[in-house]
Structure 1
Amino acid sequence: MAVERPELVAVGVEEEFHTVDLETHRLRPRADGLLEQLHPDRFVAELQRSVVETNSRPFVRLADLAEDLAALRRRVVEAAEPLGLGIVAAGTVPLVDLDALKVTPDERYENMLEEYQQLTREQLICGAQVHVDAGDRDMAVAVAHRIGPWLPPLLALSASSPYWLGTDTGYASYRTLLWQRWPTTGPLGAFASAEEYDRMLADLVRSGVISDPGMAYFDVRPSAHLPTVELRVCDACPRVEDVVLLAGLFRALVIREMDAVAAGEPAAPVRTELVRAATWRAARSGLDGELVDPRSGVPVPAGELLRGLLDDLRPMLERTGDWELVAEMTEGALTRGDSAARQRAAFAVGGMDDVVELLLAETRANTEWAPGPPRRSVTRMTADYRTESDEAVVFDGSARAPYEMIMAVLDRLGADGLRERERERDEVQRRLGMTFRVAGEEEERLFPFDLVPRVIAAEDWRPLQAGLRQRVRALEAFLHDAYGERAAVRDGVLPAWAIDDSPGLRPEGRRVPRSAVRCAVAGLDLVRDGAGRWVVLEDNLRVPSGIGYAMANRWLTTRVLPELVRTSRMPPPSRAVAVLRAALTSASPALAVVTSGERDSAFYEHRMLAREMGVPLVTPDRLVVTGDGVRIDGPEGAHVEVLYRRVGEDELFDAVGPGLLEAMERGAVTLANAPGNGVGDDKALYVHVPRLIEYYLGERPLLDNVTTYLCRDPDQRAEALDRLKELVIKPVDGYGGSDVLIGPEASAAELAEARERILAEPARWIAQETVELSTHPTFVDGRLEPRAVDLRAFVVQGPEPVVVPLALTRVAPASSRIVNSSQGGGSKDTWLMR
C-alpha cells in the first residue's frame, strides 16, 4: 500500500447543536426556520429537525480553529434567540417531548425513518466530529484502525449526556449507548487499502442494511471522498475549549500513527471487542472513574491515563505548536470535570431547569480566544465580506485576535477617513518618488499600497524563519555544486538535465571563487492557504527586489496611520537596513549598488537602498576595472570591492567589459549576487529543492513546496495536459507573472494555446496544483474587500544566513491569484510579530 502523509496537518470540526425553547427548556423541532437565516455552507440540517450542524474551516493552528468555532456559535445563538430558541451543545437534552419531534423533510432521512423506525425517532443526540487531513485515503484507512484503542479517553473528555427523557441514566455519555444501536457503529477493523475499505462499504450497501456509504457510523472512519480521517465517537461539548482539546489530541494521535505507517512500523494488534468494552467503560464513568488503559488492558484513573497519553503525544504536539495549549486545556478539563458531572451538580441545586440553563450558558459563553460580546469592529465596511480563506476576519465579521486593534482603528476612521488617508498616502508617495514603471509604458505609476497592514503572527513567523534559512543554505550549497563537482548528479539525487538544460546556467558562474557567497540576497515567495499552511511558491536568487518597497511601506504606514504604528511595537526599517548592509559588507566595507538608472522599473528602490546604507549608487558605465580591482569613474574615483547588483548580469558585463569577470575570478571584487544564480531559481529545479535540503544538509525540509509537474516528463506532462483547467502553468525561467496561466480562471482559447506551447516545448514549462491563496482585507472603493496575498521574505548571507526583519506582502487584483504589481497587484505593510 503506497501512502503519503502531509507535513502540515489541518484539522476541522463539525458540531451539532440542539434547539431548545428558552422558556420551557424543552427540545423544539425548529431548526429549519433557523437555517433559513444562516449561511448554507457553514450551517446544515441534520436527521432531526431539532438539530443544527456547523462546519468549521480546516486550520493548521488550533487557535484559528477555536476562533472559527466561537464565531459559528455566536452566529447561531444570535439567529436563534429572537426566535425564542436557545442553542445547546451536549450529547442529549433532558427535557423532550417525543411526540412533538419529526425528522427533517428530506428523502434520505424519511427513508431512514421508514427503515429504522424507533431508532430514528429517538436519534435526539448531538456529537462533535473532528476531521484530520491524512494526505491520502490509503493513509486514512490505515490510521483509522490503528487509532481505535485511544478513542475511549477522548469520549470520556466529551461526556455530556447523563440525562435521557428526563431521567438520570447513570452514564456520563448515554448518547454512546443510543448511538451504538445503529448497525454500523463501533471500532473499525483493519483494511489493506482504501480500495478494500470501499469494497466493504459496497457490500454493506448491497446487503440492504444501510442505504449509502454515509451511514457507516464507525467511531473513527475515513472519508468516502477526501483524504481525511474523522473522529465520531464524542458527545457534543458545551465548552468550546473542550472541542479544541479533542481536536488537538485527535490530530496528534493521527500524526503519531501516520509517522508509524510512513516508517513501516506494523500496527499493534487491535481487538475490536476490547475497544468496544473500553468505550462502554468511558461512556459509563466519564472523567469521574476509571478508564481502560489501551496498552495494559487494565483499569486506571481517568486523569492518570489522560496525562500519560498527553506525555506520549508531546513530540507530535510540539511539532504542531500545540503542546502548551493542549497541556493547559487537559489540566483544565481534568480540574473542571466532565459536563456530565457539572450537569448533575446543577440538578442537585435546581432540577432539570437548572441543567438546561447551565448547558445554554456554557454553549453561549465565549472562550479566551473570543472573549466578551461579539466583536463588531469591521462590520461597517465588510457587508457580505467573504471569509472563506481570510487571515484577518472571522466568519461572523469580527476580527481575529492579532487584528483587533487594527480593525478598531479602521472602524473609528470609517470609509471617509480612510479615503482622506489615501489622499495623504498619494501625496507622500509623490514626494518620495515612490514609483515604478511597467514594461511597455511611458508613464510611471505610484507603487500601489493598501492601507490595511498584514500581521504575521509570531507562531507563524518563528518557524518560517527557520525554514527560510534552511532553504537558502541548501540552495547556496547547490549553486557551488552545480558549478563545481556536481556531486548531487553523481549521487543520483538530481538529474543532469536539471543543471545542463537550465536557462540560468552561465559560463560566468564557473569563474566565481569557491570561497565567495553566491547568493548574498535571496527573495523567497510564500503563499498561505485558508487552513494556514505556508508553502514556498518560488525562489528568487538572481536580483530579487522588494526590500526597499517593504521599507517604504512601513514609512507610509507610519506617516499616514501613525495611530496604528504607535501601538504595534514593530522594529524600525533601519534594523532591516543594518542586516542587509552587514551581509553585503561581510567581505569588504567598500560597497556600491549598481542600477540601470531611471529607466529601471525599480529605480526608486535602488536609490533608496543606496541612500539608507550610505553607499554609492552607480550605473554600469561608471565602473572601471583597474589592476587592483574596480573603481567608480569620476572625480572621487572611489575604490569598490563589493557590487550589490540590481541589474542583469549581461548588462553589467557588456557595459564594464571582460575585466570585471577577471577581477571577480581573482577575488578583487565580489558580485552580490553572483552570475549564474539563475540555475538555482529555475522553476524546474524547484521540484528538487526538498531532496537537495536532505542531501546537502541532512535535515528534514521545514517548508513545503507546491505540488509541481515537470512537463518534460512524459507521464507528468500527460497528467498536466489532462488537468490544465485545474492547474497553474508557468515557464521555468519566467518572472513577474509573465506567461503564467491560472487554469481555473482561463478561457477555452487560453487553455488551447497553453496546450500547444507545452507540446511544442515541454521542457520549458511546469504545472502546479492551484493553491487557494489566503485573503486579506483591502480597502477598495470605500469598503474592505478580501484580496489574495502572498509574502516575499528575504534572506541575506554573510558568514551565516539571516532573515531580514521586513517582508513584502503583495496583493492580487480582484478575482485574481497573480500578485505581481506589473500585473495590476499592490502591496501592504507587513508586521512580523516577535
Structure 2
Amino acid sequence: MGARPSDRRLPPAPEVVLGVEEEFHLVDLETRSAVPRVPELLDELQALDGDAFAAELKPSIIETNSRPTHDLADLRTELVRLRGMLAHIADGRGLGVVGAGTVPLIDGSAEGITASPRYERMRDEYQVLAFEQQICGTQVHVDVPDRDAAITVMQHSAPWLPVLLALSASSPFWKGQDTGYASSRTLAWHRWPTAGPPAPLRDAADYDALIADLLASGTMSDPGMVYFDMRPSAHQDTVELRICDAGPSVDGVVLVAGLARALVRHGVRAHLAGRPSPRYRPELLRAASWRAARSGLEGDLVDVRGRELVPPSRAVRLLLEHLDDELDEAGDRDVVHELAVDALARGSSAARQRQRANRSGTLEAVVDMLVAETRGAPDSPVDAPVSETVAPVLLADYAPAAYDEAVAEDGTVRPAYSWLVSTLERIGPSGLLVHEKSRDAEQRARGMLFPQDDDAERLFPLDLVPRLITPGEWETLTAGLVQRARTCEALLQDLHGERACLHDGVLPEAALRWIPQPHEAAMNLHPGAVRALVSGLDLVCDGEGEWKVLEDNLRIPSGIGYALADRRVVRSVLPELQAPHGVLDADEGPAMLREALLASAPPAAGHDPVLAVVTEGPSDAAYFEHRMLAEEMGVPLLTPGELRAAAGMITIAENGRPVDVLYRRIDEEVLFDARDAEGVRLGGPVQEAVRTGRLTLSNAPGNGLVDDKGVYPFISALTEFYFGEKATLAAVPTWSCADPDQREHVLDHLEELVIKPVDGYGGQGIVVGPYASAEELEQVAAEVRAHPAGFVAQETVRISTHPTFTGAVLEPRVVDLRAFVVLAPTPTVLPTPLTRVAPADSLVVNSSRGGGSKDTWILR
C-alpha cells in the first residue's frame, strides 16, 4: 500500500534530492503464483538494512525504500542494490521477486492481510477494497521548499501525471485473466474513496482542511490514507508521486523518477515566481488517468492541456518539451531523453507481457519473464532487438530479389526500421493474425469496401505493416511532386490556350490523342480556373533506392480517403506500433483538401462558397472514399440526381442552395450524360455554369489529355520549358509507340518492357513483358502494330519491395506510392500518401488487379 510516507528527512543540498519506494510481489518459483511469505523474509532483510525494507497490507508484497540521492545514476545503483538483496534472500526460499502492478497468478492463501492493527482496521472498514489490493506501485519522493510549494507542485503537475502512468503500465492480468487494460492496478487503486487526481487546492492550509474533513466524514481512518496521484508529505518537506505501477525494469523506474523531479522543479519555480496554479476539470484529469490505464504506450493518450487525444509518442514528447529547462538544470536531460525514446521503442511492460503470453500460451511464462527482468536481465528474449535475436520468426526466410526498403542486402534490418521490426517480432505471427481479425472487423464496421464484380463485399486490402518515409526523403519528394504538378497544370493551360509547347516542338502533336476544340467543355472554363487542382502522382523506388515518377493521374485520382482510413484502422487495431518520434498527422488531409477546393471557388461564389462532392453512388467501387471525404470535410455527398439545374446555376435539389464547387468523383462523360432531379440532362447546364463563372468543377474536364501516358515521356522537358528548372524527380525511361523508330525498338524488346495503353487506368491493359506468356506478347504486338499511338512502353524498373505479412512470416512485396498534390491556395502535398502493394510475383499494385495497401508513415 505504501500508505506511510518515508520517515527519513531528506538532507538539504544544492540539488533537489529524491528517493524511491518500490513494491514487489513474492511468487513461488514452482507455481509462479503470488504467495504470502513476506513475514519469513522480513527479519533477515531488515537485519541487512533495517530502513530499506517494510511489510505491506498484503503479506505477499514487500516494499523497498531507497536512500536519498541527488543523481539518477546513483539512484539506479541504489535500486539495483536493493533488488539484488531482496532477490538473494528470496532465492534461498524458492521464491521469485516481481516488479509489476499486478502478478498474473495469485495463490488463494495470498488473499489475507498482514497482521497489524492498522491493516486489520482497514480490512474491517473497507472489506473488498482491502482484500483485492494485490497490487504494487512505485512512489517517488522529491524535496520541496515547504508544504505550500508542494501544493503548487501538485496543481502544475496534475495534467502530466497520466503520461507517467502510461510509461509505467505493467498490470494487464488479474487472477489469471487479461483485463484489457495496461494498468488494471489503476482500476483497483481508484476504487478507494481518496484515490485519484490531486484535488484543486490553494495551499497547505487548504489541504490540511480537506484532510480534516475527510477524517471527520469517516471516509478514511488516518491521514496516511490520502491516496492522491501526487500528495505532500505529512512529516517533511517532500512531495510524493504515487500514480505509477511498479516496474520490472530499473531503467523504467529511473525514467519516472527523473521526470517526477523535473515536474517538481517546474512547480517549485512557478511557486517561487508567484504564478497562479492552472485549473483543470477533475473529471478530465480522471478521464486522462483512465485512458492511460487503458492504453499504456500502445494507444492514444489524453493531452489534458490541449483537450484532445494524441499518440503516446506525442504525449511523451510534449512532456519532455514542457520540462526541457528543468531536465537541463538537473543534468538529467540526456539520460531522461534516452530512456524515454527507449521506452517508446520497447513499448509498455503490459504489452510485452501480453506478447509473451501469446507466444508461449501460458501465464507462467509471463511470470518467468517478469522475474528475470526484475532481477536485472537486460532484455528478455521477446524484447531483444532484431539484429541481436538468434532466430527471428517473421524475417526467418526473408529474401528480397531487389532493393528492399526495410532489409539490407546482407539480411540486416535498416536502421530506420529497427524499432518497427523489433515490435513486430515481439507481437509475432499469432499476434498479427489476431490483429488481422480485428482489422477485418474494424473495416467492416467502417464500411471500408472496394467491391469487385465477383465480390460485392470485398474489403479494401490492408496490410498491417506500415511503410516508413524518412524526413529527408519526404522533403525531397515534396519539392519534386509540387514541381511536377505545376508542370502538368501549366501544360493543361497551354494546350487549352496558346499551345506554345506544340509550336516550339517540345511536345509532339502525335503524343496527344486529341486536340481540344472550342466547343468542348474543357475549353470553356472561367478565367483563372485551376484545371488539375488535385493530382495523384504515382512513384516507385527503384533498385538503387531512387524515387521515380511512374504515372500522372489528373482526372479523378482516388486514394486520399483510403490512406486516411488505413491510418485509423492500423492505429485502432495495432496500438503497439508507435514511431519513437511520431509521424505526420494524416487526419489533417481532409481539411487541407477542403481548403484547396474552397480556394478554387469561382468569383461569383462570394465569401461563403458552397462545396459538395458528386459521386455516381454506391455502385462505384470507390464509394467508401467519396462518402468518407464528404463526411470529413463536412460537405454534402450528392449523386447527379440530387442536383438541379436552375437559372444558370447548379443547386442542391433538397434545399435549392447553389453549389459553387463540385468536387468531381465521377467521370465527366457520366456526369454530363446524367439527369438531374427534374430529369434535365446535366451536360449543358453544368458546362454553362462553369463557363460563366458560377461553378467550379474540380478536377476540370479534359484533364485526361495530359495524364494519358503518351504525354508522360515529355513532362521533364516541359518542366524546363515552362519554368527553366531541371526536373527534380526522375522519370522511368519510356518509348512512344506513335514514333516509328521507338515502336520498332519496343517490338524488338517486348519481353523486357512494360506495355501500357495510353488511356488506361486502374492497371487495365498493362502487359509486363518479363512475366508475360508468348501468347500475351504476340497479342500485344498485334495491338501495337494496329494502333501504335495507343501504347507506350516503359523500362521494367526493379521496384523496391517492402515486408508484408502473409499469415505466418513477412515476405517482400512490390510497392508504389500515390502522393496527392493540391495547387490552391498554395501548392501543397497532402500528408495522406497511399502505399499500394502488389500481389506475390507481380509488379501491378492496383486494387482492381488484386493489389493491397499499407499505412504510410512520414516520420518527423
Q: 1:448 aligns with which of 461, 467, 472?
A: 461
Q: Can you list the C-alpha shifts for 1:580-611, whole angstroms capped at 9, x where unaligned?
A: 11101113431000000000000000000000
1:633 aligns with 2:659: no
1:806 aligns with 2:832: yes
Contact 2:478–2:829 under 8 Å retained in 1:
yes
After superposing the two structures, state which structure 1 stretch, 808-817 or 397-406, moved more.
397-406
Write the mapping of 1:17-56 to structure 2, written as runs, cut at 5 A.
Answer: none
1:531, CA displacement in angstroms? 1.2
1:598 aligns with 2:618: yes
Partner Cα separation in structure 2 for residue 437 and residue 722 of structure 1? 39
1:434 aligns with 2:448: yes
Letter in 2 for 1:765: F
Partner Cα separation in structure 2 for residue 504 and residue 628 of structure 1? 23
In structure 2, relative to structure 1, the CA distance for the partners of 1:482 and 1:424 (3 Å cut) is: same
Partner Cα separation in structure 1 for residue 712 and residue 520 of structure 2? 21
Partner Cα separation in structure 1 for residue 706 and residue 750 of structure 2? 26
Instruction: Name the residue aligned to 2:416.
Output: 402
1:425 aligns with 2:451: no
Q: Can you list the C-alpha shifts for 1:286-345, whole angstroms capped at 9, x where unaligned?
A: xxxxxxxxxxxxxxxxxxxxxxxxxxxxxxxxxxxxxxxxxxxxxxxxxxxxxxxxxxxx
In structure 2, relative to structure 1, the CA distance for the partners of 1:383 and 1:474 (3 Å cut) is: same
Instruction: Name the residue aligned to 1:652.
Output: 671
Partner Cα separation in structure 2 for residue 373 and residue 585 of structure 1? 48
1:419, CA displacement in angstroms? 0.2
Letter in 2 for 1:398: T
Q: 1:579 aligns with which of 576, 592, 604?
A: 592
In structure 2, relative to structure 1, the CA distance for the partners of 1:710 and 1:744 (3 Å cut) is: same
In structure 2, relative to structure 1, the CA distance for the partners of 1:505 and 1:756 (3 Å cut) is: farther
1:628, CA displacement in angstroms? 5.3
SS in 2 for 1:525: strand
1:784 aligns with 2:834: no
Partner Cα separation in structure 2 for residue 378 and residue 666 of structure 1? 69
RMSD, aligned CA:
2.0
Q: Can you list the C-alpha shifts for 1:391-433, whole angstroms capped at 9, x where unaligned?
A: 0012343321111111111111110000000000000000000
Q: 2:701 aligns with which of 675, 678, 682?
A: 675
1:620 aligns with 2:633: no
Instruction: Name the residue aligned to 1:380.
Output: 393
Q: 2:734 aligns with which of 688, 702, 708?
A: 708
Write the mapping of 1:714-753 to structure 2, written as runs, cut at 5 A.
Answer: 714-753=740-779
Partner Cα separation in structure 2 for residue 687 and residue 429 of structure 1? 39
Write the mapping of 1:285-364 to structure 2, written as runs, cut at 5 A.
Answer: none
1:573, CA displacement in angstroms? 2.7
Segments of structure 1 that go 5 or more residues without pairing to the other structure are 1-370
Write the mapping of 1:104-123 to structure 2, written as runs, cut at 5 A.
Answer: none
Partner Cα separation in structure 2 for residue 453 and residue 373 of structure 1? 17
Partner Cα separation in structure 1 for residue 556 and residue 824 of structure 2? 17
Q: 1:518 aligns with which of 528, 531, 539?
A: 531
Write the mapping of 1:527-546 to structure 2, written as runs, cut at 5 A.
Answer: 527-546=540-559
Instruction: Name the residue aligned to 1:340.
Output: none
1:551 aligns with 2:564: yes
Letter in 1 for 2:547: W
Contact 2:595–2:825 under 8 Å retained in 1:
no
1:769 aligns with 2:795: yes
1:389 aligns with 2:403: yes
Instruction: Name the residue aligned to 1:411.
Output: 425
Letter in 1 for 2:628: M
TM-score of the pair, normalised by structure 1 = 0.54
Contact 2:450–2:458 under 8 Å retained in 1:
yes
SS in 2 for 1:688: helix
Partner Cα separation in structure 1 for residue 385 and residue 629 of structure 2? 46
SS in 2 for 1:451: strand
1:382, CA displacement in angstroms? 1.7
1:372, CA displacement in angstroms? 9.8
SS in 1 for 2:505: coil
Instruction: Name the residue aligned to 2:487.
Output: 474
Partner Cα separation in structure 1 for residue 669 and residue 738 of structure 2? 28
Partner Cα separation in structure 1 for residue 789 and residue 491 of structure 2? 21
Partner Cα separation in structure 2 for residue 624 and residue 372 of structure 1? 62
Q: 1:493 aligns with which of 506, 509, 523?
A: 506
Partner Cα separation in structure 2 for residue 495 and residue 502 of structure 1? 12
Partner Cα separation in structure 2 for residue 608 and residue 453 of structure 1? 21
Q: Can you list the C-alpha shifts for 1:92-128, whole angstroms capped at 9, x where unaligned?
A: xxxxxxxxxxxxxxxxxxxxxxxxxxxxxxxxxxxxx
Write the mapping of 1:132-171 to structure 2, written as runs, cut at 5 A.
Answer: none
Same amino acid, percent of matched pairs: 51
1:799, CA displacement in angstroms? 3.0
In structure 2, relative to structure 1, the CA distance for the partners of 1:525 and 1:562 (3 Å cut) is: same
Partner Cα separation in structure 2 for residue 738 and residue 463 of structure 1? 30
Partner Cα separation in structure 1 for residue 386 and residue 540 of structure 2? 33
1:377, CA displacement in angstroms? 9.1
Partner Cα separation in structure 1 for residue 580 and residue 634 of structure 2? 30
Contact 1:505–1:679 under 8 Å retained in 2:
no
Instruction: Name the residue aligned to 1:643.
Output: 662
Letter in 1 for 2:446: L
SS in 2 for 1:527: strand
Write the mapping of 1:451-462 to structure 2, written as runs, cut at 5 A.
Answer: 451-462=464-475
1:795, CA displacement in angstroms? 0.1
Instruction: Name the residue aligned to 2:27.
Output: none
In structure 2, relative to structure 1, the CA distance for the partners of 1:416 and 1:568 (3 Å cut) is: farther
1:731, CA displacement in angstroms? 0.2
Instruction: Name the residue aligned to 1:334.
Output: none
Instruction: Name the residue aligned to 2:578.
Output: 565
Q: Can you list the C-alpha shifts for 1:766-798, whole angstroms capped at 9, x where unaligned?
A: 111000110000000211000000000000121
Letter in 2 for 1:399: V
Q: Can you list the C-alpha shifts for 1:188-220, whole angstroms capped at 9, x where unaligned?
A: xxxxxxxxxxxxxxxxxxxxxxxxxxxxxxxxx
Instruction: Name the residue aligned to 1:833.
Output: 859
SS in 1 for 2:814: strand
Q: 1:610 aligns with which of 604, 611, 630?
A: 630
SS in 2 for 1:380: coil
Instruction: Name the residue aligned to 2:714.
Output: 688
Letter in 2 for 1:775: T
SS in 2 for 1:515: coil
Instruction: Name the residue aligned to 1:338.
Output: none
Instruction: Name the residue aligned to 1:176.
Output: none
Partner Cα separation in structure 2 for residue 503 and residue 750 of structure 1? 34
Instruction: Name the residue aligned to 2:176.
Output: none
Partner Cα separation in structure 2 for residue 706 and residue 663 of structure 1? 40
Contact 1:381–1:415 under 8 Å retained in 2:
yes
SS in 2 for 1:516: coil
In structure 2, relative to structure 1, the CA distance for the partners of 1:736 and 1:377 (3 Å cut) is: farther
In structure 2, relative to structure 1, the CA distance for the partners of 1:678 and 1:804 (3 Å cut) is: same
Instruction: Name the residue aligned to 2:781.
Output: 755
Instruction: Name the residue aligned to 1:89.
Output: none
SS in 1 for 2:428: helix
1:373, CA displacement in angstroms? 9.8
Contact 1:549–1:808 under 8 Å retained in 2:
yes
Write the mapping of 1:203-218 to structure 2, written as runs, cut at 5 A.
Answer: none
Letter in 1 for 2:784: I
1:502, CA displacement in angstroms? 6.8
Q: Can you list the C-alpha shifts for 1:340-394, whole angstroms capped at 9, x where unaligned?
A: xxxxxxxxxxxxxxxxxxxxxxxxxxxxxxx999444982112221134210012
Contact 2:386–2:425 under 8 Å retained in 1:
no
Partner Cα separation in structure 1 for residue 464 and residue 620 of structure 2? 26
Contact 1:377–1:404 under 8 Å retained in 2:
no
Q: Can you list the C-alpha shifts for 1:495-527, whole angstroms capped at 9, x where unaligned?
A: 223346379999211011231011111000000
